[in-house]
Structure 1
Amino acid sequence: MTVVNAPPVDTPGCRHQDAYAISAEFYDVLQGERDEVRVRSLYGDDVRRARVGVLDVGAGTGRITLMSLLESHVPVHAVEPARSMRTPLMTRLASLGAELTARVTVHPQALDEAALHGVADVAVCHNTVACLHPASRRALWPAVAEALVPTGVLLVQLPPARLPRHRTVHALPTRTVGRHEYGGRMVMSADMDRIRARFDYWVRGDGRVLRRYDETFWMWPASRAEMIAELEEEGFVALPERPDASVLAVRPARP
């Protein structure tokens, strides 16, 4: 998934049902291939070592869910409240054989509402916590702890450490599908204590722009030290830093 994954939320750990109404059409086309490589690099070794189950918190269109099914032999729980992202996730799973789909359960609600108890020894929050309001983010951790076995590990992709100093523009990859070319950009800027991330999408054909859309998401920055302190308050302890510093690994403090 991209560095932005959800709009502001009002309920702890929950996303609005119409989140990604626009981005869902473009996500896999523009960024899915790159993200597939990235999630395998970041989480593949942990998933292969899973012996109880894998929990994918904020599954999106299912890159981590699919990787977990292919790289492990354990049950996989995919938590995705947003219907627009859950639809491509279900389509992706429907293309798999019965042996794989028998191991995956998709939970169409927030993790605290799914009421999962001891179902996994590996939990992944990829591109999820950055877009949770700090209060909602802190409310997520007890539900993760409940879903993990005592010896489990939680892998969190960290949010941006600070607000951007200047407005920045990041071009998204372009992709040709038949007669049409898809592309876009992400524009990031500071807005009070939040980061405003606007995605601009376009579809071109016959030498002209056929369609344009934009969708805005919000992120709340937090440093690695702040995230460690927050998770320690919720009963986790940090594990040694990983080769990729964008991921924080923690485990329950008292197995």
Structure 2
Amino acid sequence: MAVSASPLDIHPSLAMVSVAPPGREEQDAYAISAEFYDVLQAERDGARVRRLYRRDVGNARLGVLDVGAGTGRVTLMSLMESRVPVHAVEPARSMRSPLMTRLASLPADLRTRVTVHPHTLDEADLHEVADVAVCHNTIACLDPASRRALWPAIAEALVPGSALLIQLPPARLPHHETTHDLPTQRIGRHEYGGRMVASADANRIRTRFHYWVRGEGGLLREHHETFWM
């Protein structure tokens, strides 16, 4: 199995929001961010997905495995760029719901090629279903036990000689707290925006998201969510 690490200018905001870590649905950590991800970050992440993975996905001959499908950027790209079955693994219900809605709007010939697995990969019990696997915005979010369980599950799901494409986590802890403003977007009369604050906490990166929605009269609502890398 060939393993290629993508040459990323990885940003913590992209690493933390788009993918749910493997786990039971009651541990869904993306209940807040799922509402805002497609609005604030998916366009930029979609372009990155096409740049990093399109060529390998287009060469798939057996199937494509999307580990941590989130709201579906890799899954949708894989359906468009390949002619093989696509397996989307997404255990978080909050992220899987927009994925399913997006898939439901596709033509029937595309829908019949994609299967959504609402479990972690080790629970999905997939055996030699693909020759290309993509782990986009996934590895950084996993705790050590989940990461150890992921590797044999990927090996089981792929055939010999497959390509495994991994977006690597940041190589080091941040030296100081950094803030990144998410691009503001307007939908109707409301404006959506947010920011991400990353800082080191022991041997982990603490990533805090602040989301807001504003109307003509000012702030309508705001939400906060914290992730760990």
Residue-by-residue CA offset, 1:46-66 (whole Å, 9 max, x unaligned): 000000000000000001000
Correspondent of 1:93 among 103, 106, 125: 103
Moved more, 113-122 or 14-23: 14-23
Correspondent of 1:205 among 207, 212, 215: 215
Runs of 4+ that moved beyond 3 A? 5-9
Cα 1:155–1:4 change in 2 (3 A) is: same
Percent of residue pairs identical: 73
Correspondent of 1:143 among 153, 177, 184: 153
Query: Which whole-Å CA distance do the structure 2 matches of 1:209 and 1:51 have between them?
Result: 50
Opposite residue 205 of structure 2, the aligned amino acid is I
Hey, what does 1:111 align to over in structure 2? 121
Opposite residue 213 of structure 1, the aligned amino acid is H
Hey, what does 1:14 align to over in structure 2? 23
Opposite residue 220 of structure 2, the aligned amino acid is L
CA contact (8 A) 2:195 2:210 kept: yes
Provide TM-score, normalisation by structure 1.
Answer: 0.82
Opposite residue 106 of structure 1, the aligned amino acid is V
User: How far off is 1:16 after superposition?
Assistant: 4.8
Provide TM-score, normalisation by structure 2.
Answer: 0.91
| Equivalent residues, number | 216
Query: Which whole-Å CA distance do the structure 2 matches of 1:49 and 1:100 have between them?
Result: 18
Hey, what does 2:188 align to over in structure 1? 178
User: How far off is 1:15 after superposition?
Assistant: 5.7
CA contact (8 A) 2:18 2:37 kept: no
Which one has more relative contact order, counting CA pairs under 8 Å at least 6 apart? 2
Cα 1:8–1:84 change in 2 (3 A) is: closer
SS in 1 for 2:137: coil
Instruction: Give matches, 1:209-248, under 5 Å.
Output: 209-219=219-229
Hey, what does 1:123 align to over in structure 2? 133
Correspondent of 1:4 among 16, 23, 26: 16
- Give yes or no for the alignment of 1:26 onto 2:31: no
Which consecutive residues of structure 1, in runs of 5 or more, have no partner in the other structure? 220-255
User: How far off is 1:139 after superposition?
Assistant: 1.9
Hey, what does 2:67 align to over in structure 1? 57
- Give yes or no for the alignment of 1:37 onto 2:47: yes
CA contact (8 A) 2:128 2:156 kept: yes
Moved more, 200-209 or 88-97: 200-209
CA contact (8 A) 1:123 1:148 kept: yes
